[in-house]
Each structure stands twice: as C-alpha cells, then as structure tokens.
A and B are shown apart, each in its own frame.
Chain A
Amino acid sequence: MKAAALLLAGSMALAACASDEPAGGSGGGGGGGAEAGGEDLRIGLAFDTGGRGDRSFNDAAVAGLEAAKEEHGGEFRDISPNADASNRADLLTQLADEGYNPIIAVGFAYGEVIGDVVEQYPDTTFAIIDSSAAEVGADNLTGLLFSEEQGSFLAGVAAATKSETGHIGFVGGVETPLIQKFEAGYVAGAQAVNPQIIIDRQYISPAGDFTGFNDPARGKLVAQGMYEAGADIVYHAAGGSGQGVFEAAADAGARAIGVDSDQYQTVGDPRLQAVILTSMLKRVDTAVSSFIDSYVDGSVEGGADITYDLEQDGVGLATSGGFIDDIQDTVDDYRQQIIDGEIEVPTTP
C-alpha cells in the first residue's frame, strides 16, 4: 500500500510539472523565501473552525486583509481547516510552501501547532491572533492580543444601564479561557453599574467541543431560555452562533449585544438589526491591517505580542443604530476610568 502511494506521489510530481497554472491562481514558482516588501505582496490567512462567513470574528480578519490589499495591492488567500480542525498545521505549512508571506493564523487554537511551523519556515513572517507569541519565542512570530475583558466591561455597562428588568444574560460559545475573559469583563461592568443585577451566564458547549462557535440553533435555544426567564439584554461571545441569539431576541421583542465585528452592519437582516443594541468591537481588522502595514514597512519586530486595548481603540463599543447614544457619557466615563487604571477589569469570572 505504501509502495502504491509512493508511486502515486512520484507520478504526480511529473503531472505537476506538466500542468498549467490556472488563471487567477498563484503566480507559479517562487517557492522559497519571498522577500519582505517585494512588489508582489502575497498574504496567507488561516482561519479557525467556523471559517469565513461567520459575520463576526473571522470576517473581521478578512476585513483587515481587504483594507491592507486596498493600500498595498497584492493578493491574499484565506483557507479554512477541515471539519475537526486536525489539519491546522498543514494549512500553515502549505501556505508557506506556496510562498505566501506574511501568514496570519486566526484563532488561539493555532497556538498549539504554530511553534513547530515557525521553526520550520524561518524566512516566513507569521502572526497569530489571540495567542501569545512570547511563550513561543521565535523571531518570525508576532502575537496579536486583545483586552476583550475591557471592551466587555463596557458592554456590561451598556447592558446594565439599558436593562429595564434588572436582569441580563451572557451566552458564551465554548467554555474556554478566552471566552471567560468576555464573561468576566461583562459581569464586572454590569455589576459596576448595578450591584444587584441578575446575570444569567451560559455556554453553548463545554471546553473541548468547538461546535458552540458555529451552532445558531443552540445559540437561539440558550438565549430563548434567558429571555423567558426575564432577561431583556443578552450579550453573546459565540462567533457564528450569535445569529441565533439575535433571532431569539427578535422573537422575544428584547435586545442583544453583538461581538467582534459591528454586527449591526454585518448581520444583513433589518429585523435582526433592530435588536442589536451595540457590539463589543474587537478590532481584529485593525490588528491584521496594521500588522501587514508594519510588514510592508519592514518594521515587524517579531517574538513579541502586541496587545490591543481600550486606549488604542483595539476594543470598544459600536455606536451603529444609535441605540446607546443616550448613555454614551456613562460609557465614556467608565472607559476613561479603565484607561486611567482606576478600574482593574478581571480576566477570569
């Protein structure tokens, strides 16, 4: 069997030589070390489960790429892992083999495999979103981190201020430390406004089961339970499952808070738009485009993390729809207190 497979591999190498490059595909050859700042910028983006089209986290990364492409030209390629995401390392190595540089891994789950990959491709520049590069310690890897708890704190402030029932909710996608940061900040923010507030908190799936990020039906079910119990505003940090939370809000005549992208803009359905009080922006787009900017300038330091927090507007609240205009002063006040260090936002619930 192995012999047959090898034979196949060999004959295919020949076939590969004979093949024509497809129109619009990669520009051929070029395999090895692509020079930084070359005329042809080729950016690779590897998504996490959920992939493109979640109208949230992954799409924010694409928005950043589009912006960078607008500015610097070139092309980008975004690819998604298989259903169980067991091939994350392959996504990165294949992009590197094809000469894509820089390569951006979207999602903390890449933290497990990226260490080996960056070592294997020392001439390629990598960035990873939501995972620290400091612990990997390779010069060609930059970690792009966010202070989600700070933005979520403001979401909590908005929810508690706007709530009429004194009862709000939080729907997390998967019970991972990353999503717990959202929860911790949200709870702290809501309690800062109203210490007596009731906060329902629930995760769609437990740690180890990633379906919770991509399951609108269960997102809807969980949120429905909260609205029925009396909550009038639910904040979700559940990626693609958030769609279900919005639907539950629309059905219940209540409201919800979006996450990552400005979901008022991305949700694409006027009925759901009307329920989105605000969104906790996690400016993955800014992080991606400014990373590419610094790559083009040749100023990527590598081996370190860049943390996007409230101060540099790396996280914050969206104002689209104008639903929180009347409480903007309150929100800004808390924002300033966090920036000044008067409020220390917890990262674990």
Chain B
Amino acid sequence: MNVLRRIGLSLFAPVLAVVVAVLISSAVMAALQVNPLRVFEIMVDFGDTPSQQVTALVVVLNRAVPLFLAGLAVAIAFRMGLFNIGVEGQYRLATILAAGAGAAVALPGPLHVLLIVVVAMVVAAIWAGIVAVLKVTRGVSEVISSIMLNVIALGVASFLLTGPLRGSPEGASIIATADIPESGWMPSLNGVFGLLGLANPPRQLYGFLVVAVVVGVLIGVLLNRTRFGFDLRAAGLSPSAASASGVDSRGMVIKTMLLSGAVAGLIGMPDLLGSTHSYTTDFTSGLGFLGIAVALLGRNKPVGIALGALLFAFLDRSLVPLQIQDFPASVVTIIQGTIVLAVVVANEVVRRVARRSAERGSATGAAVAGDGSTGPGQAASGAASIGGGADGGEGTGAGESRTTGAGQRSDERQETGA
C-alpha cells in the first residue's frame, strides 16, 4: 500500500505538471489564434522517410545528452541545498581548456579521450571549488559567487580563445582552438541503428551518450546508496541536524561542489568529442542555465533529469518544423516556461498532500514547522532548496516532498558565517 502510494505520488506531480502546462499553453496559443492541436501534431511529426525520422531522433538524443549532464550537475548541488548557478562558467572554461589540452598532445585513442575528459572534469571541479571555499571560509553565498565566476570564466575563455589557444588562421571568421587529432574523437553510436534494422542517418549519434548514462547511474547510486550520499542529503535537509549527528557540513559543501563541478565539466564533451573537435566562438552556450530548469523538471533525480532533458530536447527540435509550417517559434518557449512553472507548483501541491498524510499517519508534525507561506515566495524558496528528499517522513510516503528553503538556509548561513 505504502509503496503504491509512493509511486502514485511521485508520478502524480510530473504528470499533473505536464497536463497543466499543455492546457495553459493551449489556451495561450488559442488566444494567439494558433491552432494548438496542429502545433502538437507538428511537434511529434519526425518526418516522412525513415532516414528523416532517425535523424530527428538523433537530434533529440544529441541535444538531450548535454542537457542531462547539466541537469545532473545542478541537481547534485541542489540535493545538498546549494544553488550552483556557476555550471555555465564551469563547463565553458573546462571545455576550452580540455580542447586546448586535447589538441596539444597525441596519445593512442582511448587514452587521448580520457585525458580530455579528465582535464575538463578537473578544471570545472576547481572552478566550482572556488565557490565552495569562499562559502565555507568567508560565508559568501554560492549564488552570488558562482554568478560572478561565470562572468570571469567567460572572459577567461574568450581570452584563451583569442590568445594562447587560438588555432584558426588570422582573419578566419570563426575563431577556434586547434583541432583535436582524430585519436581524441569519440566514435559515434550509429552502428546501433544498423543492428536495430533502422536507417543509418547522416547525423552522428554522440558516443558520449553511453558515458552520460553511466555517469547518471553512478550519481544515482552515490546519492542514494552510500554514506556520502546520505550525508549529502542530510546536510541538505538540515545542516544543523546533520552536523549535530557528526556530519562535517563544511567538508560536505566542498565535496559536493567539487562533484557538481566535475559533472559540469562533462557538459561540453559530447559536442567537443563528437562533432566540433575544437572550441569555437560558436560553441553552444547557455547549457548551464538550461540545466537548472532540467534539474527542476527532473526533481533532482537522475531518471527524472533524463526525462526532463529528453522533453526539453524534444521541444527544442520542434522549433524548426514549427517555423517551417509558419508557426511562431515562441510557442515552444511558452510551453517550456509553463512546464517549469507547472512543475514547481505541482511539486508544492504534492508536497502538501504528502505532508498532510504524513501528519495523519504519525505525529511527527514538528519536522515541518514554519512553512505555511504561499505564492511566489514559496516557489522561489522551493527552487532554492530543491535539494528535496523527505522532511522527516521518508517512510510514510513523503519521499517526494520538499522542505522550504528559508528556515534551513538561515541555519546554514549562521553555521558557515561563524
């Protein structure tokens, strides 16, 4: 019974969110005199020929891989109550240095790829580590410092690209680092299509997809099945309670940010290893910010983030066919926005339902004191402490519920400021 309830509740929120988002965006479209049914039809139309359909699938998956990694990086920090907005700067800086390192050396295949990936992870982890060190030593809010570090990272990346790491000839319209030699490329997964008896599309499916899945599984295990993960979630739920029971919360802040940063370093890898083979002025930007939305959508759980990333990638792909059929591209932006909003609201609704049943089930009401606020403030604090997990009622079906940020965050600040 409990298990059923739990599954029901955890499915209820995302389903509710998507339904609400579809209804709201349909209403908006109708108001704009756009036929919503036709829009949804175009969105799910992957093309006429098998080759086009598989290409569309590849486009969605290739887009989903970096989004998933970005969501994961953000979620690791979220689970501990840290808001790592710096993912954007972390991956941009990591990617350009990894591209530079990869172009500078020649190693046999797998080692070369490994080197590039390790450089990216280390650089991003160090960049995220700065945020953590500032937080535990000086009490600087990670939100502020990571935003600032984003700006610095972009500037440094731009300096490196136009200066020391420039590999493109003078006067070329796109500035790029030197190309990584072929031993540092990641083979595509297009062979899989042959095995499945599908058309082999001209587009290459990123081999990094496999790495992303492995990383997702590892992070899932780490967070849910290890002492480290337990400490992390505990410190996220209540830093003071965690340190009272022997968790070194300062150490946890540093470890979590390093881990979050290391995963952030992977975001640029699918594109770098799979298609561009160099960092250019056009390298995909903004994935770090999209990752925040994806993590929110996926409720900070690897499987949820994967679904969220696929949904975003799917919506993103539909931008082109919609425009070709003369629909405004803003329709997709509206849907993406409403989905994120709906998820925040739905999470809140489910949290309350779960809490009420938890209160009824046992008398542990104390755990949820002081969160009667509503409205935008609620949504904002929900976002800030999306760290999630149970608020004292894990066994009673409240596994998906959230504590509000306000209370625990001030705890944390006192702690770190002291």
Contact = CB atoms under 8 A, between A and B. Distances in A.
Contacts of B46: 8-9, 12-13
A9 B63 contact: no
A82 B56 CA distance: 16
B281 A176 contact: yes
B326 A84 contact: no
B161 A87 contact: no
A348 interface: yes
A108 B285 CA distance: 17
B73 interface: no
Contacts of A91: 320
B321 A82 contact: no
Contacts of A210: 281-282, 285
B57 A5 contact: yes
A90 B313 CA distance: 13
Interface in A20-43: 22, 24-26, 31
A16 B158 CA distance: 45
Interface in B31-65: 38, 41, 44-49, 52-57, 59-61, 63
Given A84-B284, A91-B320, A206 B158 contact: yes
Interface string B244-286: 0000000000000000000000000001000010001111111
B38 A22 contact: yes
Interface in B155-171: 155, 157-159, 161-162, 170-171
Given A22-B38, A86-B284, A348-B170, A94 B320 contact: yes
A123 to B, nearest CB: 15
B-side interface mostly: helix
A332 B313 CA distance: 53
Contacts of B173: 108, 111, 130-132, 176-178
B45 A85 contact: no
A93 interface: yes
Interface residues of A, number: 54
A15 B52 CA distance: 15
Most A-side CB within 10 Å, residue of B38, B41, B282:
B282
A112 B57 CA distance: 22
Contact of A77 (B55, B61, B326): B326
Contact of B60 (A5, A82, A176, A348): A5
Contacts, number: 142
A94 B321 contact: yes
Interface in A320-349: 347-348
B244 to A, nearest CB: 41
Contacts of B41: 15, 19
Most B-side CB within 10 Å, residue of A15, A86, A108, A175:
A86
A191 interface: no
B124 interface: no
A207 B319 contact: no
A111 B174 contact: yes
A13 B155 contact: no
Contacts of A97: 47, 52
A13 B48 contact: yes
Given A84-B286, A176-B175, A177-B171, A93 B55 contact: yes
Contacts of B373: none
A79 B286 CA distance: 21
Most B-side CB within 10 Å, residue of A22, A26, A31, A120:
A22
A204 to B, nearest CB: 12
Contact of A209 (B38, B158, B287): B158
Interface string B179-214: 000000000000000000010001000000000000
B176 to A, nearest CB: 8
Nearest to A47: B323
Interface in A161-209: 174-178, 206-209
A108 B48 contact: no
A273 B52 CA distance: 48
A95 interface: yes
Nearest to A181: B171
Contacts of A347: 171
Interface string B60-85: 11010000000000000000000000
Contacts of A10: 53
A108 B319 CA distance: 21
A348 B175 CA distance: 14
A109 B176 CA distance: 12
Contacts of B324: 26, 77, 79, 94-95, 98
B316 interface: yes
Given A12-B44, A206-B158, A208-B161, A112 B55 contact: no
16 contacts: A9-B46, A12-B53, A13-B47, A15-B45, A19-B45, A22-B38, A85-B282, A90-B320, A111-B174, A175-B158, A206-B154, A206-B158, A206-B159, A207-B175, A210-B282, A347-B171
